[in-house]
Amino acid sequence: ESGITRPKGYNVSFHCNPEMEKHHFGVTHPMKPWRLTLSKSLIYSYGMSFAMNNYVSRAATYEELADFHSTDYLDFLGTVLPEPVPRDVENQNPDLRFNLGGSDCPLFEGLYDYCSMSAGSALDAARKICANQSDIAIAWGGGLHHAKKAEASGFCYINDIVIAILELLRHYPRVLYIDIDVHHGDGVEEAFFSTDRVMTVSFHKYDPNNFFPGTGALDDNGPKNEQNPGAHHAVNVPLNDGITDEQYDMLFNTIISRIVEKFRPSAIALQCGADSLAGDRLGRFNLQVQGHGACVEFCKRMNLPLILFGGGGYTPRNVARAWTYETSIAIGCQDKISDVLPQHTPWRDQFRQETLFPTLEQILGEPRQNKNPPKRLQDIVNHVSEQLRFVQA
Ligand code: VJV
Ligand code: CA
Ligand code: ZN
């Protein structure tokens, strides 16, 4: 008996499509859709599905994808075939259209289905929110924040977040987009660059020459032309290696509460990329499951309609831990779930430690050096506060 019950009048919906998880970017590619299977199996093992409305989401239609993407791009995406032999990417192959077919965004079997399922789950989540049928809607298969209108980028082909936010904008005057993936949320920022109805905030590792995508400096805050309504509506929090839970939560809480105060969003879209966790194959931070989850908890406390998206996350066992803990926060049972993983959890041996909250030492052996001096964090808070003086609801 898990003791997990559904709080009266509080609705959480969970949107996924098991077909999505069967797709493969290639054996050694860091993006593993299977992490969604592992996450779900842990969520179900804890008994959380009984406290949510669970939906198998449909695939988004061509028309729905075309809400954001160009038809040229979608037509190509729908017809390209997987490459039988990997091509030399650096060799400026003229066939590399729309940035498709390189090593970051390979062509694989069922690519179009995979993309439309990810977008379908995000769109279903947005529609449940708009219909007032969910207070929090979860789409761990979404969160692919790098995709552009007519270009694939950084493991992302279709920008499900942009498509979901466009749906929210049909019902809500203002949407706050928050991105805690270790990478800059460039595709979402760019899509809403020229509007004051969406404020985008990304926390990320920033090193223009050595870390993807290289954008998202502190003073990249939207169009430089003051006449453009989007001016000041992009917030960027560039960080360095090794940031800790304590520092991250201080930044997150300070910055998000000030933004909510000034911008007065009517809904929040939170991208929960789990590559900001310690021990991630591509990440550089020292965040633990608790600190990552604290961001979700903080957003929930804002008492606004909330969508949780997935995103990056390249060490599947840690992705599953974070998204399980965050699902428990959404339904409000985080204080009741046991630190020891349920005995009957499928693939339990995949988790190495048998706990939901392994210590930094267990995850890393030796923690990554923290290169975020307190002075720098204060400068960031000051810059954002200054920026917000130009923002009004
Ligand atoms: O840094 C890059 C671009 C390169 C060119 C391609 N080579 C492989 C790497 C350098 C400049 N791309 C990043 C993309 C990160 C995408 C993150 C996505 C998200 O989490 O924000 C949201 C879902 C990058 N970093 C690491 C890799 N690519 C990488 C790609 C591989 C790989 C190992 C590392 C692709 C294939 C294989 N190994 C087999
Ligand atoms: Ca980010
Ligand atoms: Zn990422």
- Burial status of residue 46 (CB atoms within 10 A of its CB: 0-12, 13-18, 19 or more): buried
Tokens 């992705």 sit on residue:
319
184 a catalytic residue? no
Torsion angle, alpha carbons of 236, 379, 301, 162, to 10: 0
Q: Tell me what pLDDT residue 55 has.
A: 98
C-alpha 45: how far from its chain's center?
Answer: 23
Quote the ligand 2 centre to 372 CA distance (angstroms).
Answer: 16
Q: Tell me what pLDDT residue 94 has.
A: 47
Report which bound ligand comes closest to the CA of 202: 2
Q: Hey, CA dihedral for 36, 42, 43, 44, is it positive or negative? A: positive
Whether the ω angle into residue 213 lies within 30 degrees of 0, i.e. cis, is yes
Q: Is the CB of 183 under 6 A from ligand 1?
A: yes
Q: Tell me what pLDDT residue 2 has.
A: 61
Cβ neighbours of residue 348 closer than 8 Å, sequence gap 6 or more: 341, 354
Tens-digit pLDDT profile for the chain (393 aa)? 566 766 567 999 999 999 999 999 999 999 999 999 999 999 999 999 999 999 999 999 999 999 999 999 999 999 988 876 555 555 445 457 999 999 999 999 999 999 999 999 999 999 999 999 999 999 999 999 999 999 999 999 999 999 999 999 999 999 999 999 999 999 999 999 999 999 999 999 999 999 999 999 999 999 999 999 999 999 999 999 999 999 999 999 999 999 999 999 999 999 999 999 999 999 999 999 999 999 999 999 999 999 999 999 999 999 999 999 999 999 999 999 999 999 999 999 999 999 999 999 999 988 899 999 999 999 999 999 999 999 998
**For ligand 1, atom 17: residue with the closest CA:** 154
- ipTM, two decimals, is 0.98
Tokens 């453009």 sit on residue:
228
Ligand 3 (ion): residues with CB under 5 Å are 181, 183, 273, 275, 312
Radius of gyration of the chain (CA): 20
Q: Ligand 1, residue 145: give the atom nearest the CA.
A: 22
- C-alpha to C-alpha distances, 2 to 7, 49, 78, 321, nearest whole angstrom: 15, 11, 44, 18
Please tell me whether residue 355 adopts helix, strand or coil conformation. strand
Q: Is the CB of 214 under 6 A from ligand 1?
A: no
Q: Tell me what pLDDT residue 7 has.
A: 59
**For ligand 1, atom 2: residue with the closest CA:** 212
Q: Ligand 1, residue 27: give the atom nearest the CA.
A: 39
Q: Is the CB of 154 under 6 A from ligand 1?
A: yes
DSSP 8-class letter at 143: -
- C-alpha to C-alpha distances, 36 to 23, 65, 89, 274, nearest whole angstrom: 11, 22, 29, 12
For Cα atoms 24, 286, 28, give the angle at the middle one, nearest 5 degrees.
20
Quote the ligand 3 centre to 184 CA distance (angstroms).
Answer: 8
Q: Is the CB of 179 under 6 A from ligand 1?
A: no
Quote the ligand 1 centre to 104 CA distance (angstroms).
Answer: 5
Residue 265: closest CA among 128, 133, 173: 173
HSE (side-chain half, CA atoms, 13 Å) at 304 = 23
Distance between CA 34 and CA 221 in Å, rounded? 36
Q: Ligand 1, residue 156: give the atom nearest the CA.
A: 23
Contact between 268 and 176 under an 8 Å Cβ cutoff? The reply is yes
Q: Is the CB of 155 under 6 A from ligand 1?
A: yes
Q: Tell me what pLDDT residue 253 has.
A: 98
Could you tell me the pTM of the whole model?
0.96
Q: Which of 15, 23, 145, 146 is catalytic?
A: 146
**Which of 212, 281, 292 most suits a substitution to test ligand 1, by most atoms within 8 Å of the C-beta?**
212
